[in-house]
Structure 1
């Protein structure tokens, strides 16, 4: 797959990420529980991708070969638990986003994701093989983090200075570090399934199970709501999740973990910008910093996509 096409697909898929956040946020407000909203989102996503597996014969055939894949050690069985990382991410949202705010949470998560993307590519953990940390890839990654920080700085500044975020910020940072491994694990499975649906199915199944356990534990002495909202759009979070999980599982083999992640980040910023402009909520801020930061992130992605054969002047032998 040509890199420009892959980046375009990753960017489009990344737009689904802030859409999912907005939908799940509204559902959490109605239910009074971010964890329960995340469980509902994962369950809906599991049902949708499960129907897809049933409908498409290739997906059903691939799942039937799973015992053979595991027996031949095509990939470790625990790769199928990649969805637990997704559950960890949404759990972190529910526990820390009120303390950190969406902006700081996003910066920490993107920083962790970018650093981990460089590392997983360098050691060849993903299905695309080893991709060394060149000067160009490092500069592109650094500029991407700077661009995201620049884009969300107005929201961080609006919160005021506080040291209360120093410990909670480790949650989204660690979730970002793990996200690159989640993409690599899903991509490796997809390489053998030859379709993203089985890996996406197991991703949502593991995440749903993990969140179900968390909700069960936290519900003791804290009764669940007696009714659920009737607005159908509040249940679209799982569908948006299917989009970027399945797309990432396909692209990571062709572009590597870092570029796939940066493409998703670019789409995330563009999607957030579109929501803040056309469907703002209280606290939405769009100014020159937002626009220039988003633009810098897009430039950073293009820099990072320069072929690995290219070298900076100090790297030439």
Structure 2
């Protein structure tokens, strides 16, 4: 099967792939809440990240190795590497996921989930445009049209608007401004992770091997970082007994799997916008049904979430024929 044929076979129709990206965003929002709470409970964000990734690794290994289809897909990894279907460094995509989970455990307790979300979304929106333009993802190069750029800007504005009622709970600016650098970089790296995983999935014929490799790489990196932290600052508090503290790993499995599948259909930018809309919806639902101290559901929160959904839909529309003919011609060559 040629690269073009395998790419087309791996695509999911837009009416199905876009809602899947939103659902993956819901899982990301829940994971942020869980891992942030675990990091605060342990007094050690790195330990929380190690636990989350460790559980995800065990679960993903079982989902990949036990079913026959998973084992067959896993056997395609070595031939793909031997035939140089993609650069070897694509296997390091899991480092991005590890960095995101570490950021959740380390900074959410300091900045709050609102400011954390703003930083992640800002980084992801910018890098989504960049990665699509470079053509790292399985969908190939996608030129920057006015609607795609406008959608990214509207998404950032929507997130800032949605979480604006919570800014007053963030404390003094100096207390949370510097920690925001971590989630900002984590969000920027997310688009690269989705692109690299999507390319691997296209060649393996299944998202399971790429997701498993993500967890192996991320878990090893987090363990090394935690061992350094342990030697310098000591250990964490005892593990909590409540089961929900350990849901971060399964949630991570879910959104990495879904992201690797839908990115071939949507491209990196639109996949990111769908996940961002899901994160906002998830945060809204969590604050409504599982509130924590400082939770706020205001008019701005609801309207900002609706604006993010509108921006996501806007990115799926064709660029107007009369506007910038050169950009239109480029868009035709990419199938957009």
TM (norm. structure 2) is 0.89
1:65, distance to aligned residue in structure 2 (A): 2.6
Aligned to 2:83: 72
Aligned to 1:2: 13
Aligned residues: 315
Aligned to 2:108: 97
Change (3 A) 1:171 1:217: same
1:261, distance to aligned residue in structure 2 (A): 0.8
- Contact 1:151–1:289, Cα closer than 8 Å, also in 2: yes
Change (3 A) 1:147 1:226: closer
Provide runs of 4+ in structure 1 moved above 6 Å.
Answer: none
The 2-side partners of 1:125 and 1:179 are apart by 13
- Higher deviation after alignment, 110-119 or 227-236: 227-236
1:21, distance to aligned residue in structure 2 (A): 1.8
Equivalent position SS for 1:229: coil
1:225, distance to aligned residue in structure 2 (A): 4.4
The 2-side partners of 1:267 and 1:178 are apart by 18
Give CA-to-partner distance per residue, 1:153-191, whole Å, 9 cap, x none.
111134366255444333222211111001101111100
Aligned to 1:218: 229
The 2-side partners of 1:111 and 1:4 are apart by 26
Gaps of 5+ in 2: 1-11, 327-336
1:305 aligned onto 2:321: no
Aligned to 1:51: 62
Give CA-to-partner distance per residue, 1:86-108, whole Å, 9 cap, x none.
11122233443344332222112
Aligned to 2:253: 242
1:147, distance to aligned residue in structure 2 (A): 0.5
Give CA-to-partner distance per residue, 1:224-253, whole Å, 9 cap, x none.
347422222221110011111000000011
- Higher deviation after alignment, 99-108 or 263-272: 99-108
1:140 aligned onto 2:185: no
Change (3 A) 1:178 1:48: same
Structure 2 counterparts to residues 257-296 of structure 1, below 5 A: 257-296=268-307
Gaps of 5+ in 1: none
Equivalent position SS for 1:220: helix
Aligned to 2:168: 157
- Contact 1:134–1:311, Cα closer than 8 Å, also in 2: no
The 2-side partners of 1:313 and 1:66 are apart by 46
1:18, distance to aligned residue in structure 2 (A): 1.6
Change (3 A) 1:75 1:118: same
- Contact 2:133–2:142, Cα closer than 8 Å, also in 1: yes
The 1-side partners of 2:281 and 2:142 are apart by 27
1:315 aligned onto 2:324: yes
The 2-side partners of 1:61 and 1:51 are apart by 14
- Contact 2:37–2:109, Cα closer than 8 Å, also in 1: no
Equivalent position SS for 1:131: coil
- Contact 2:162–2:305, Cα closer than 8 Å, also in 1: yes
Change (3 A) 1:17 1:299: same
- Higher deviation after alignment, 258-267 or 160-169: 160-169
Equivalent position SS for 2:231: coil
1:305, distance to aligned residue in structure 2 (A): 1.2
1:206, distance to aligned residue in structure 2 (A): 0.7
- Contact 1:152–1:289, Cα closer than 8 Å, also in 2: yes
The 2-side partners of 1:168 and 1:155 are apart by 17
The 2-side partners of 1:177 and 1:24 are apart by 20
The 1-side partners of 2:237 and 2:320 are apart by 60
1:260, distance to aligned residue in structure 2 (A): 0.7
1:312, distance to aligned residue in structure 2 (A): 6.8
The 2-side partners of 1:147 and 1:24 are apart by 24
